[in-house]
Amino acid sequence: MPIFQPELETLPRPKLKALQDERLREQVAYVYERVPFYRAMLEGAGLKPSDIRGVEDLPKLPFTRKRDLRDTYPFGLFAVPRRELARIHASSGTTGKPTVVGYTKGDLEVFAEVVARSLAAAGAEPGMMLHNAYGYGLFTGGLGLHGGAERLGMVVVPISGGMTDRQIMLIQDFKPEVICCTPSYAQTLAEEFKRRGVSPEEISLEYAVLGAEPWTEAIRRSVDEGLGVKSTNIYGLSEIIGPGVANEDVNERDGLSYVWEDHFYPEVVHPETGEPLPEGEVGVLVLTTLTKKAMPVLRYWTGDLTYITREPGASGRTHARMAQIRGRTDDMLIVRGVNVYPTQIEAVLLQIPEVAPHYQIVLKRERTMDEVELKLEVAEPFFREVGAQMLSDEVIEADHRLAALRDKVAHKVKDNIGVSVKVTLISPGSAPRSEGGKLKRVADLRNLG
Ligand code: ADP
Ligand code: K
């Protein structure tokens, strides 16, 4: 697939580094002048803007956190007067006020550019049609992908999330080559096609650009097979710009996504100490914008766990690559002293063909002990093979094939992650499904008494 901006995406590393250093110096001087929060941050650390000479000086600065956006709600971190803004986005925020971000016209151009790079890396080409099933609205996904697809020269179908029947109809009638949505919603669409007897070869889609929530190879496999596509990962967050901070290359698909490093500088730090970690070690991703005007951020603590490598990938791009997100630090389940991420459990499912990557993790407290229940769907072919109608504890107990499968899953989870989970096998179709957006796969009932 052609690279969208070859001169920038394959910039030799010494030149890329020089560009980053220069842009960082400008960005620091800019926020020092314009954003009281950053002036106070630098002064608090005893620094002048000129003390940040290049990216290696970033660790001198403290982190910017989500609560800093909340504390300055709505526009306190903005570096331009509101009449110079072109757009506002906000992220959901389950409790209280959302976090608000702003863009100048120039920021929107950068946004479109990095999304166009991402789509091209994912296999999209000018003239292809994009079925954009990310939500439109305050969420950055819909409009973010939209702008990037237009920039690349694609034909955009701005369907947004939800209303699955209509999505299926328009995919069949318009025959788009590319889809973007959350991985869990891609699973929903794949199942719906299957239910209607439409085979993957009959579905026009060739590429899927999936992100906004953690996912693993188990889900990649089910989406690729179900829709007949090659899916790649798109990563981003509204505080930095939105989706399109990083994307996997369709010919690599090894879980490593190129971070568009001329605009966003990535660091990985220790989750507890905040100390920079060497390449290849998993920690919290921290991002610094290098070219933002409306709301630049220095050292934003994403909470997302990953590692970075600067080993060049096969595509010829020189930018750093980040691994699939293992989860956010706030998704971490501490189960009897062991740290567990839902994605670790999901990864185990890949090894067991008799189960499907549809599951729910339920946390309960039994007396003083945390108990984890993994409610896991049996794969359809296996379900038919055992000839069960409905699964219940009695049915599973009575059929040695089901009981053995249940025990096998529990053993694999224990072997791979080190925690005992109670596995409950459930019938195909009974775990929660995405109806358009991000899917919550964990139900924490521990504090419900
Ligand atoms: P909200 O905070 O409302 O979810 P955002 O859309 O800004 O709003 O969410 C960004 C977050 O979504 C990221 O910090 C990360 O946790 C998650 N995310 C986005 N893309 C991916 C991805 N490809 N893989 C895993 N997690 C992702
Ligand atoms: K297809």
Per-residue model confidence as pLDDT tens for the chain (449 residues):
689 999 999 999 999 999 999 999 999 999 999 999 999 999 999 999 999 999 999 999 999 999 999 999 999 999 999 999 999 999 876 567 889 999 999 999 999 999 999 999 999 999 999 999 999 999 999 999 999 999 999 999 999 999 999 999 999 999 999 999 999 999 999 999 999 999 999 999 999 999 999 999 999 999 999 999 999 999 999 999 999 999 999 999 999 999 999 999 999 999 999 999 999 999 999 999 999 999 999 999 999 999 999 999 999 999 999 999 998 887 888 888 888 899 999 999 989 999 999 999 999 888 778 889 999 999 999 999 999 888 999 999 999 999 999 999 999 999 999 999 999 999 999 999 999 989 999 998 887 65
- The residue nearest atom 2 of ligand 1, judged by CA position, is 91
How far is ligand 1, taken at its centre, from the CA of residue 238, in Å? 8
Distance CA 181, CA 212 (A): 8
Amino acid 337: pLDDT: 81
Which residue carries 């069960």 as its tokens? 388
**Residue 414, amino acid:** K
How far is ligand 1, taken at its centre, from the CA of residue 317, in Å? 24
Q: What is the CATH architecture assignment of 333-444? A: 2-Layer Sandwich (3.30)
Amino acid 269: pLDDT: 98
How far is ligand 1, taken at its centre, from the CA of residue 65, in Å? 15
- The residue nearest atom 18 of ligand 1, judged by CA position, is 212
Please give the span between the terminal C-alpha atoms of the chain, in angstroms, as a whole number.
55
Task: Give the number of whichever ligand sits closest to the CA of residue 141.
Answer: 1
Q: What is the CATH architecture assignment of 1-329? A: 3-Layer(aba) Sandwich (3.40)
Show the DSSP H helices in 153-289 as ranges. Answer: 164-174, 183-195, 217-227
Which segments of the chain belong to CATH 3.30.300.30?
Answer: 333-444
Task: Give the number of whichever ligand sits closest to the CA of residue 224.
Answer: 2
Amino acid 165: pLDDT: 97
- The CA distances from residue 30 to 111, 255, 323, in Å, are 20, 35, 31
- The residue nearest atom 21 of ligand 1, judged by CA position, is 212
Q: Which residues pair with 6 in a beta bridge?
A: none
- Cβ atoms of residues 345 and 413 within 8 Å: yes
Q: What angle do CA 179, 181, 182 make, to 5 degrees?
A: 145
3-state secondary structure of 344: helix
Who surrounds ion ligand 2 at CB < 5 A? Answer: 203, 205, 228
**Atom of ligand 1 at shortest range from CA of 211:** 23
Q: List, chain by chain if needed, residues with CB within 6 Å of any ligand 1 atom.
A: 91-92, 140, 211-214, 233-238, 302, 304, 325, 328
How far is ligand 1, taken at its centre, from the CA of residue 91, in Å? 10
DSSP letter string, 267-303: EEE-TTT--B--TT--EEEEEEESS-SSS--SSEEEE
Amino acid 449: pLDDT: 52
How far is ligand 1, taken at its centre, from the CA of residue 390, in Å? 36
Taking alpha carbons only, the member of 236, 296, 305, 241 closest to residue 268 is 305
Amino acid 93: pLDDT: 63
**Residue 77, amino acid:** L
Distance CA 249, CA 43 (A): 41
Taking alpha carbons only, the member of 414, 431, 237 closest to residue 340 is 414
**Atom of ligand 1 at shortest range from CA of 239:** 7
Distance CA 413, CA 341 (A): 12
Amino acid 1: pLDDT: 65
Which segments of the chain belong to CATH 3.40.50.12780?
Answer: 1-329
ipTM above 0.90? yes
Ligand 1, residues 114, 136, 213: which to mutate, most atoms within 8 A of Cβ?
A: 213
How far is ligand 1, taken at its centre, from the CA of residue 242, in Å? 9
- The residue nearest atom 19 of ligand 1, judged by CA position, is 212
How far is ligand 1, taken at its centre, from the CA of residue 328, in Å? 9
